[in-house]
C-alpha cells in the first residue's frame, strides 16, 4: 500500500513537472527528426554526386548544432529544470507497454553539445579526406545513422528508448569498421567488435527484464530521481536491484572498452580515420559513461556496486596506460589512452563526482578526436621534431623498478596482457567447441526432423493441461535448450551458409514456443514476435539461394567478398540479418522485450538461456554476412594479406 502511495505521488510530481516545462519538452523530438531527414536525403542522392552528399550531411549537423546551442542557452535561462516527454506507445496491452520517452538534463546537454561540435568538425574534415573514395556515400549515410542512434540514446527517457539508439550505434559501428570491405582485417575485426557489443545488448535486455518485474511496469529515468520511490522498491528486492545494476555495468563495460574486453578498441581502428575519431576516440566509446550517469540514482546507495565500478575503472586505467606507452602505431596508442581515461571516469562516477565526470568526458572527447584527425600526419611531425629538436630520454618513475620487474611489465604490455587470447579461450572457443559436437545436424535432418519436432511441441503447448505439472514446468527449459542447440550449431558452422541461416530462423520459433508454454503467450504476441522473423527469414534465404546459384560455393570457411559484384544483394541480405536479429526496423524488436516479460523473476536460468541464444543469434548473423559478402573477393587473381602488419 505504501509503495502504491509513493508511486502515485511520483506520478503527480511527474505530471506537475511536465506541465511547467511542457512547451520546451515538446521540442525534444525535433532533435531526433533532423538526423532522420538528413539520413533519408543522403540515401536518395546518387552516389557519384559527392558535393550534394557531403553538403547534406554537413548542413544537417550544422543546423542541429545551432539548434542545440540555442535550445541549451534558453534552457539554462529557464533555471535548467529537467525536461521529460512521455512520447508514444509502440505496443500496448493491459499488462505491457513499450513506449518511447524523451528526457533532457545536464547530462544530455553536455553529450549533445560535445557530440554536435565533434561531428560538425568531422563532417567538414571527411568531405575532403574521403574525396573520390569508392564508399563516399556509404560513409556519410552510416555516419548519419550513427548520429541518429546517438541522439536517440542521449535523449532517451527510459531503458526501452535507450536500447533503440544503442542498437543503431552498434550496427553503424560494425559497418564503419568494415568500411574497406574488400580487405581481410576490417571484415574480421568488425565481427570481433560486434561480438563484444552483443554482450552489452544482452546486459540491457536483462536489465529491462528485471526492471519490469521490480517496478511492475515501465519506469522512466525521471522516476529514478525519486530517492524515496527507489529505496522503497529496493529494500525488499536487494538482490534484484544488484542484478539490474550489474547488467547495466556489463553494458557500460562492453561499450566503453573496459576490462576484460578492452582489446576490441584498437581493433576497431581499421575503419577510416574520421569514423575512428567519432566512434572510438570521442562519442560512441563514452556511451558507457552516459549509461552509468543516467542510472546513477538507481545504484548510488549500493556500496558493492560502486566498489565494483571503481575497481574495474582503476584496473583498466593502470593496464591500458601501460599498453598505450609501448605501442608502435599512433591509433593503437590513442585507443588505449582513451580507454585509460574512461577508466578514470568510471572511478569518478563511482565516487559520485558526476559533474567532474562530465567535464572529463568533454575534455577527453575533444582531445582524442583531435589526435585521431591529425594522426595521418603525426609521423612527419615526429620525424621533424627528432631531426631539429632532438632531446635525450628523460628519467621517469619506471626507472626505479628492478630490471626484472620492468622487463616483465614491458612484455605484458607489448602482448596487450593477452586480452584477445583470453577472450577467445574462455568465451568464444568453448561455444565453438560445443557447436562442433552438433555436427550430426545436417540440412536434411534439420528440415525432415526439426519441423515435425516443432509441430509436436506445438501440440504439447495446446494440450498442456493434460500433462503432469512437473513435465509442464520442464518444457520451457527443454524447448530453450533445443533453440540454444540450434543457434550454437549455426555459430560454429563452417560450411553451409543456408543451413546456418535456417537454424537461426528456427531457433526463434523454438524460443516463442518455450515462452508460450511458460506463460500464456497470446496469438497476437506470437504474431508480433514472429512476423518480422518470417519476412526477414524468407528474404535472407532467397538471397543466399540466388547467390549460390550464380556464384557457386558460398561456404563459410573463408571470406568471399561478394558485395564487390552484388552490392544490392549484399544490402538486402544485411537488412534481412537486421530483421532476424531484432534491429529496430522490424516488430521482432518489440517482440524480444515482450518475450522477457513472460519470464518470471525467479526463472533466472531460463532468462540467461534466452539471452545467450540472442547473443549467439546476432553473432552468427553478422559473421554470416561478413563471410559471404565482405573481405577479398574469392575469385580475385591478386594476393591479399591475411595478417596485420
Asked if 30 and 112 touch (Cβ cutoff 8 Å), the reply is no
Across the chain, mean pLDDT equals 85
Where is pLDDT greater, at 406 or 383? 406
3-state secondary structure of 522: coil
Q: Quote the pLDDT of residue 14.
A: 43
Residue 325 has pLDDT above 50, yes or no: yes
DSSP labels for 282-296? Answer: ISGGGHHHHHHHHTH
Residue 56 CA to residue 54 CA, distance in Å, equals 5
Asked if 593 and 160 touch (Cβ cutoff 8 Å), the reply is yes
Q: Tens digit of pLDDT for each residue in 165-192?
A: 999 999 999 999 989 888 888 888 888 8
Q: Tens digit of pLDDT for each residue in 515-539?
A: 888 877 776 777 888 888 999 999 9
Position 602 confidence tier, pLDDT thresholds 50, 70, 90:
confident
Residue 196 CA to residue 623 CA, distance in Å, equals 13
3-state secondary structure of 158: strand
Using alpha carbons, select from 300, 206, 177 the residue that is nearest to residue 631: 177
Q: Quote the pLDDT of residue 291.
A: 94
Residue 135 has pLDDT above 90, yes or no: no
Residue 199 CA to residue 370 CA, distance in Å, equals 30
Residue 236 has pLDDT above 70, yes or no: yes
Count of C-beta atoms within a 10 Å radius of residue 202:
23
Mean pLDDT over 146-170 rounds to 92
Best mean pLDDT range from 42-56, 61-75, 577-591: 61-75
Asked if 101 and 153 touch (Cβ cutoff 8 Å), the reply is no
Residue 146 has pLDDT above 70, yes or no: yes
Lowest mean pLDDT among 23-27, 615-619, 623-627: 23-27
Q: Where are the domains of the chain?
A: 20-382, 437-629
Q: Tens digit of pLDDT for each residue in 459-514?
A: 887 877 777 888 888 888 999 999 998 898 888 888 888 888 999 999 999 998 88
Position 361 confidence tier, pLDDT thresholds 50, 70, 90:
very high
Residue 8 has pLDDT above 60, yes or no: no
Q: For residue 15, what is its C-alpha cell?
A: 505530471
Q: For residue 168, what is its C-alpha cell?
A: 543503431
Residue with cell 555459430: 491
Asked if 281 and 121 touch (Cβ cutoff 8 Å), the reply is no
Lowest mean pLDDT among 2-16, 343-357, 358-372, 407-421: 2-16
In our burial notation (b when 16+ CB lie closer than 10 A, e otherwise), range 3-35 reads: eeebbeebeeebeebbeebeebbebbeebbebb
Asked if 213 and 288 touch (Cβ cutoff 8 Å), the reply is no
Lowest mean pLDDT among 79-93, 333-347, 349-363: 79-93
Ramachandran assignment for 89, one of left (phi > 0), alpha (psi -120 to 50 degrees), beta (any other)? beta
Residue 81 CA to residue 75 CA, distance in Å, equals 8
Q: Quote the pLDDT of residue 371.
A: 87
Q: Is the peptide bond before 260 cis (omega within 30 degrees of 0)?
A: yes
Position 22 confidence tier, pLDDT thresholds 50, 70, 90:
low
Using alpha carbons, select from 507, 499, 503 the residue that is nearest to residue 556: 499
Q: For residue 241, what is its C-alpha cell?
A: 536491484
Mean pLDDT over 114-136 rounds to 89
Q: Quote the pLDDT of residue 637.
A: 57
Mean pLDDT over 147-160 rounds to 92
Residue 420 has pLDDT above 50, yes or no: yes
Please give the C-alpha separations between residue 554 and each of 249, 496, 557, in angstroms, as whole numbers. 39, 7, 9
| Percentage of the chain modeled with pLDDT above 90 | 33
How would you classify the pairing of strands 102-104 and 89-92?
A: unpaired
Q: Quote the pLDDT of residue 331.
A: 85
Position 141 confidence tier, pLDDT thresholds 50, 70, 90:
very high
Count of C-beta atoms within a 10 Å radius of residue 620:
28
Q: What is the pTM of this model?
A: 0.90
Q: Quote the pLDDT of residue 473.
A: 83
Lowest mean pLDDT among 157-161, 373-377, 428-432: 428-432
Mean pLDDT over 391-420 rounds to 80
Mean pLDDT over 562-571 rounds to 90
Residue 580 CA to residue 36 CA, distance in Å, equals 23
Q: Quote the pLDDT of residue 642.
A: 52
Any idea what the Cα angle at residue 70 is, between residues 67 and 72, rounded to 5°?
A: 105
3-state secondary structure of 558: coil
Residue 399 CA to residue 164 CA, distance in Å, equals 49
Q: For residue 224, what is its C-alpha cell?
A: 529514478
Q: Quote the pLDDT of residue 308.
A: 94
Residue 616 CA to residue 75 CA, distance in Å, equals 44
Residue 97 has pLDDT above 80, yes or no: no
Q: Which residues contact 245 (CB under 8 A, 6 or more apart)?
A: 295, 298, 299, 302, 305
Residue 280 CA to residue 425 CA, distance in Å, equals 25
Mean pLDDT over 147-152 rounds to 94
Where is pLDDT greater, at 364 or 582? 364
Amino acid at each position: 500500500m505504501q509503495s502504491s502511495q509513493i508511486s502515485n505521488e511520483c506520478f503527480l510530481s511527474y505530471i506537475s513537472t511536465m506541465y511547467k516545462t511542457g512547451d520546451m519538452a515538446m521540442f525534444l523530438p525535433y532533435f531526433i527528426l533532423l538526423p532522420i531527414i538528413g539520413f533519408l536525403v543522403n540515401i536518395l542522392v546518387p552516389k557519384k554526386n559527392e558535393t550534394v552528399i557531403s553538403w547534406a550531411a554537413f548542413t544537417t549537423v550544422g543546423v542541429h548544432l545551432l539548434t542545440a546551442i540555442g535550445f541549451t542557452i534558453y534552457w539554462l535561462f529557464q533555471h535548467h529544470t529537467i525536461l521529460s516527454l512521455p512520447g508514444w506507445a509502440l505496443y500496448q496491452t493491459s499488462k505491457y507497454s513499450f513506449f518511447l520517452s524523451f528526457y533532457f538534463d545536464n547530462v544530455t546537454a553536455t553529450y549533445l553539445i560535445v557530440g554536435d561540435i565533434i561531428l560538425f568538425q568531422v563532417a567538414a574534415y571527411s568531405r575532403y579526406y574521403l574525396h573520390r573514395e569508392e564508399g563516399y556515400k556509404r560513409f556519410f549515410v552510416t555516419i548519419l545513422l550513427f548520429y541518429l542512434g546517438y541522439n536517440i540514446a542521449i535523449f532517451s527517457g527510459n531503458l526501452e528508448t535507450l536500447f533503440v539508439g544503442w542498437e543503431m550505434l552498434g550496427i553503424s559501428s560494425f559497418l564503419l569498421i568494415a568500411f574497406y570491405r574488400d580487405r581481410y582485417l576490417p571484415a574480421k575485426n568488425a565481427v570481433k567488435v560486434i561480438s563484444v557489443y552483443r554482450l552489452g545488448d544482452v546486459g540491457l535486455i536483462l536489465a529491462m527484464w528485471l526492471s519490469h518485474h521490480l517496478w511492475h511496469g515501465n519506469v522512466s529515468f525521471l522516476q529514478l530521481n525519486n530517492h524515496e520511490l527507489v529505496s522503497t522498491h529496493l529494500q525488499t528486492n536487494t538482490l534484484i536491484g544488484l542484478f539490474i545494476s550489474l547488467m547495466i555495468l556489463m553494458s557500460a563495460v562492453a561499450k566503453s572498452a573496459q576490462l576484460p574486453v578492452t582489446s576490441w578498441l584498437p581493433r576497431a581502428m581499421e575503419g577510416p580515420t574520421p569514423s575512428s575519431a567519432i566512434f572510438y576516440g570521442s562519442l560512441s566509446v563514452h556511451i558507457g559513461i552516459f549509461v552509468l550517469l543516467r542510472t546513477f540514482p538507481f545504484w548510488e546507495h549500493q556500496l558493492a556496486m560502486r566498489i565494483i565500478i571503481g575497481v574495474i575503472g582503476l584496473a583498466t586505467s593502470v593496464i591500458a596506460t601501460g599498453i598505450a606507452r609501448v605501442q608502435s602505431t599512433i591509433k593503437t596508442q590513442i585507443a588505449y589512452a582513451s580507454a585509460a581515461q574512461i577508466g578514470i571516469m568510471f572511478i569518478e562516477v563511482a565516487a559520485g563526482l558526476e559533474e567532474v565526470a562530465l567535464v572529463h568526458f568533454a575534455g577527453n572527447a575533444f582531445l582524442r578526436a583531435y589526435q585521431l584527425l591529425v594522426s595521418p600526419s603525426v609521423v612527419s611531425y615526429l620525424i621533424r621534431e627528432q631531426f631539429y629538436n632532438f632531446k635525450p630520454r628523460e628519467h621517469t618513475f619506471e626507472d626505479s623498478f628492478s630490471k626484472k620487474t620492468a622487463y616483465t611489465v614491458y612484455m605484458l604490455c607489448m602482448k596487450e596482457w593477452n586480452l584477445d587470447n583470453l577472450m577467445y579461450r574462455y568465451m568464444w572457443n568453448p561455444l565453438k567447441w560445443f557447436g562442433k559436437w552438433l555436427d550430426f545436424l545436417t540440412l536434411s535432418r534439420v528440415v525432415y526432423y526439426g519441423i515435425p519436432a516443432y509441430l509436436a511441441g506445438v501440440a504439447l503447448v495446446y494440450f498442456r493441461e493434460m500433462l503432469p505439472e512437473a513435465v509442464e514446468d520442464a518444457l520451457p527449459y527443454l524447448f530453450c535448450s533445443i533453440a540454444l542447440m540450434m543457434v550454437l550449431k549455426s555459430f560454429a558452422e563452417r560450411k553451409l551458409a543456408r543451413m546456418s541461416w535456417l537454424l537461426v530462423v528456427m531457433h526463434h520459433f523454438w524460443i516463442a514456443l518455450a515462452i508460450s508454454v511458460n506463460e500464456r503467450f497470446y496469438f497476437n504476441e506470437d504474431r508480433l514476435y514472429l512476423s518480422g522473423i518470417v519476412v526477414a527469414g524468407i528474404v535472407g534465404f532467397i538471397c543466399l539461394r540466388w547467390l549460390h546459384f550464380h556464384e557457386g560455393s558460398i561456404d563459410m570457411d573463408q571470406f568471399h567478398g561478394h558485395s564487390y559484384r552484388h552490392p544490392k544483394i549484399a544490402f538486402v541480405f544485411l537488412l534481412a540479418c537486421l530483421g532476424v536479429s531484432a534491429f529496430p526496423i522490424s516488430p521482432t524488436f518489440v517482440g524480444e522485450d515482450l518475450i522477457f516479460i513472460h519470464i518470471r523473476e525467479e526463472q533466472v536460468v531460463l532468462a540467461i538461456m534466452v539471452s545467450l541464444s540472442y547473443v549467439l543469434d546476432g553473432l552468427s548473423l553478422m559473421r554470416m554476412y561478413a563471410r559471404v559478402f565482405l573481405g577479398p573477393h574469392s575469385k580475385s587473381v591478386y594476393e591479399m594479406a591475411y595478417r596485420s602488419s
